[in-house]
Structure 1
Amino acid sequence: MKVSKAQAAENRQSILDAAARLYRERGLAGVGVADITRDAGLTHGGLYRHFASKDALVQEACARAFDWSIAPLNGATPPTTAPTVGERIQSYLSPQHRDAPGTGCPVAALAVDAARAGGKLSEVFAQGIERNIGRFAQLLADSHAEAGSATEPPQDRARAIHVLATMVGGLVLARATATGRPALSDELLTTLQTQLIGLLGEAPP
């Protein structure tokens, strides 16, 4: 049976969504094509009608994963209010994010895989990370402007790199220790929350 263009587009999106989630949950080496198509509710052979190769799927799924953004914890901020930088830090360095890699930050979940793969996948991550730095630097600049600060953009970029790298590293460490030493994992999250929010001069959420 011939599939309509709309259905084909929907199937392709289902494959990308499934791959983006499974790769973040299990790593690139831990996911096969059959896992992805099964999760998407499609047949194995159907995948290659949408993607030239598995590498092409990996690259596009990882790029899709960068659509993820830090959101406040449920109930932390009224829906009509944009989250503060402190609330974003709190949400990123939270047990909820730590325990749900499949729906979270692709950098914390897949940066090591991207480094090993190199080539085009490394470029996908470079582009995604550059966008994240730019967005976070703008958030810092906006926050400083609202507070009456005259911080120069280069300083905001340097601070954005500092904070984002610390957040990613902290989340990786918290995940690595969550099963073996849960108390240490929680301590890493709460300590870094406090330190980073204090560094930025914000009141805790």
Structure 2
Amino acid sequence: MARYDKGHRDTTRRHILDVASTQFRENGIAAVGLAGIMAEAGLTNGAFYTHYASKEDLVRAVLCDALERREQRHKDNLENGVALETVIRDYLSPRHRDRAATGCPTAALVSEIARHPKATREAFTGKISDILALMAAQMPEGTPAERRRRAIAAYATMVGALQLSRAVSDRQLSEEILENAVDAALALAKGR
């Protein structure tokens, strides 16, 4: 039996996670099979179960990892004084719209997550709550409850607008959706 270098298991697990994350966001969870993930990762189907108990286990891992990365970006923005307006404009940009495979996992997967088991939805809920708290911390003025309310409204506007902009076939309409959503999210963030 061949021995692998220390850390090989973690590296392989990470590789499977990254491949699945890209495929799920690009094509949707339901449309992606384990065989396709493992083929893209350059591994056998049997190797999957060394790392994950099931596809649902992988889905939860992908969501947690992708949302933790998103959360870290929000933390970095707070620490570096990046204005919430910059965050909103970046999120609702044509560049983000056109890169679903590497973009926000919420916008790419939220409609499917609603149909997943409670454990997956609870993992998603916890991460989204953390992101909302960080967004609220970037909101100008207001009580914590008011800032949280505005963060929820702004985030929901951003996610929904990004989904709509990806779904329509008319490029001009897609651009209008993004532009108008920027204005709406900024107004919500500022409490107007």
Q: Give me the TM-score of the superposition, normalised by structure 2.
A: 0.88
Q: How many residues in Structure 1 have an aligned counterpart in Structure 2?
A: 185
Unaligned runs of 5+ in 2: none
- The aligned counterpart of 1:28 is 29
- The aligned counterpart of 1:191 is 180
Contact kept, 8 Å, 1:68 with 1:105, in 2: the verdict is no
Q: C-alpha root-mean-square deviation of aligned residues, in Å?
A: 2.1
Q: Percent of aligned positions with the same letter in both sequences?
A: 36
- Write the deviation string for residues 115-159 of structure 1: whole angstroms up to 9, x where unpaired: 11132111121112111111111111xxx2xxxx4x211110001
- The aligned counterpart of 1:136 is 135
Distance 2:90 2:178 in 1: 10
Q: SS of the residue aligned with 1:103?
A: coil
Is residue 174 from structure 1 mapped to residue 165 from structure 2 by the alignment?
A: yes
- The aligned counterpart of 2:103 is 104
Contact kept, 8 Å, 2:106 with 2:159, in 1: the verdict is yes
Unaligned runs of 5+ in 1: 73-79
Write out aligned runs for 1:31-46 (5 A): 31-46=32-47
Contact kept, 8 Å, 1:170 with 1:192, in 2: the verdict is yes
* Residue type of the alignment partner of 1:137: A
Q: SS of the residue aligned with 2:115?
A: helix
* Residue type of the alignment partner of 1:121: T
- The aligned counterpart of 2:88 is 89
Distance 2:112 2:47 in 1: 26
* Residue type of the alignment partner of 2:165: A
- The aligned counterpart of 2:8 is 7
Deviation at 1:200, TM superposition (A): 3.6
* Residue type of the alignment partner of 1:108: A
- The runs of 4+ residues in structure 1 deviating greater than 6 Å are none
